[in-house]
């Protein structure tokens, strides 16, 4: 297993402020990459009409641009994690951000639909691997009890993107052209390259790492169970969020002009949730996961009722952003715990499964709407998915107890 590199205090028992500052700057560099990724992932959804006009296609066809990015995430996360095994992680992070910058700048320069589709696929490939490998690096920079908080600080870039990056990029796209948000993201990616180069410490490569050792994570039941929690549990959130705009306009009575502000509330909730995850982890990783899934299930079960009035709708949207965001760092840390030699692959696969959850939730939500049910129903389907996530997390807890008692295969709980 890779040896963690942790900041050392100059005097035993006393914190070294210089070491703490270096750690904060390293985490800031990683969060900056998350900010760029979060911005490009979500801004496309808000600019589909402009993109459709720009490359002379209809809006449903423009939706394939979003799918191309998600497919790039699903394919790129495990592929990069395996190919980069044994390479210094700082070097991999820099290479991923360079590729991400190239993909976004190519998106801005795409002359037509097919080239844009290819550029978005390329842009998505570094996504999961950057978060996966970056999470391993973030966790290695701090003592064991602060790992989840460090991972959360890195992922905070993704949540802040929904509050600042996406609205800003959307304004750029609306006023200057759909290409400019991708130029903006490409610039942030290049700034991230410089920040990682300067602030993230160069850790020695793991001489024992290989594609085979990374793939060993897939032989561990706990890895599959944790990925299952992410896929099913987050499918419930996406079943609701995919239709948040018509839900707010049809059920809550908001005007279209208010929707961007509603999305900012969602982004603020994401940021708060990410910051709270470290405290939740202190009570136990599995206990925290089950508690969050239970809270998500209750919220989604009543989301359609809460959406009937504007004040409660705003609160519900905030919680919809907050509760799942507490869960993401817990899942990320749990995967690194149970994957042993395959930490990078397992952590990267977390983001592949979240994109699968996106597709699963949106599809199930569309089914109930296609059968004539109202916009209060996708969230109810989501509640059932969250309950299924609780069942999978419960199975993981039972397996962990069995392993701890020596009745099953040896491995991390």
Q: What is the pLDDT of residues 156-166, one digit of tens each?
A: 888 888 788 88
pTM of the model: 0.73
**pLDDT value for 208:** 57
Q: Give residue 286's Cα distance to chain centre.
A: 19
Domains in the chain with CATH codes: 20-208 (1.20.1250.20), 210-413 (1.20.1250.20)
In the chain, how many H helices and how many E strands? 16, 0
Q: Name the burial class of residue 315, with classes exposed (0-12), middle (13-18) and buried (19+) by CB atoms within 10 angstroms of its CB.
A: middle
Cβ partners under 8 Å of residue 139, min gap 6: 4, 147, 150, 151, 333, 336
**pLDDT value for 16:** 57
**pLDDT value for 10:** 40
**Average pLDDT of the chain, as a whole number:** 83
Tell me the mean pLDDT in the region 265-282.
87
**Which of 7-16, 37-46, 319-328, 347-356 shows the lowest per-residue confidence on average (mean pLDDT)?**
7-16
**pLDDT value for 270:** 87
Tell me the three state secondary structure of residue 378.
helix
**Most confidently modeled range among 138-142, 194-198, 240-244:** 194-198
**pLDDT value for 210:** 60
Tell me the three state secondary structure of residue 11.
strand
């Amino acid at each position: 297993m890779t040896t963690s590199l942790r900041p050392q205090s100059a005097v035993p028992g006393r914190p070294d402020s210089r070491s703490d500052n270096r750690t904060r700057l390293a985490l800031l560099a990683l969060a900056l990459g998350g900010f760029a990724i979060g911005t490009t992932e979500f801004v496309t959804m808000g600019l589909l009409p402009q993109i459709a006009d720009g490359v002379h296609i209809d809006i449903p066809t423009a939706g394939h641009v979003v799918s191309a990015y998600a497919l790039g995430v699903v394919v790129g996360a495990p592929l990069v994690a395996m190919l980069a095994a044994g390479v210094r992680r700082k070097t991999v992070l820099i290479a991923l951000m360079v590729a991400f910058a190239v993909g976004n700048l190519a998106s801005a320069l795409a002359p037509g639909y097919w080239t844009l589709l290819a550029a978005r696929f390329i842009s998505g490939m570094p996504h999961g691997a950057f978060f996966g490998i970056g999470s391993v690096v973030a966790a290695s920079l701090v003592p064991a009890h602060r790992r989840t908080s460090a991972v959360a600080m890195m992922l905070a870039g993704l949540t802040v993107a929904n509050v600042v990056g996406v609205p800003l990029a959307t304004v750029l796209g609306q006023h200057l052209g759909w290409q400019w948000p991708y130029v903006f993201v490409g610039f942030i990616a290049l700034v991230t390259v410089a920040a990682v180069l300067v602030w993230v410490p160069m850790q020695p490569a793991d001489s024992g790492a290989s594609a085979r050792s990374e793939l060993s994570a897939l032989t561990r039941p706990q890895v599959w169970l944790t990925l299952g929690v992410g896929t099913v549990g987050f499918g419930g959130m996406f079943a609701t969020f995919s239709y948040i705009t018509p839900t707010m306009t049809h059920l809550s009575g908001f005007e279209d002009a208010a929707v961007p502000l509603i999305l900012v509330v969602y982004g603020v909730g994401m940021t708060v949730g990410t910051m709270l995850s470290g405290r939740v982890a202190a009570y136990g990783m599995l206990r925290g996961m089950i508690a969050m899934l239970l809270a998500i299930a209750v919220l989604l079960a009543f989301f359609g009722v809460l959406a009937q009035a504007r004040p409660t709708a705003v609160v519900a949207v905030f919680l919809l952003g907050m509760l799942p965001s507490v869960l993401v760092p817990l899942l990320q840390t749990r995967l690194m715990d149970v994957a042993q030699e395959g930490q990078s692959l397992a952590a990267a696969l977390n983001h592949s499964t979240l994109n699968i959850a996106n597709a699963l939730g949106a599809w199930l939500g569309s089914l109930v709407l296609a059968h004539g049910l109202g916009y209060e129903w996708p969230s109810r389907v989501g509640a059932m998915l969250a309950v299924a996530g609780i069942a999978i997390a419960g199975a993981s807890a039972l397996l962990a107890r069995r392993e701890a008692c020596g009745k099953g295969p040896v491995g991390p709980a």
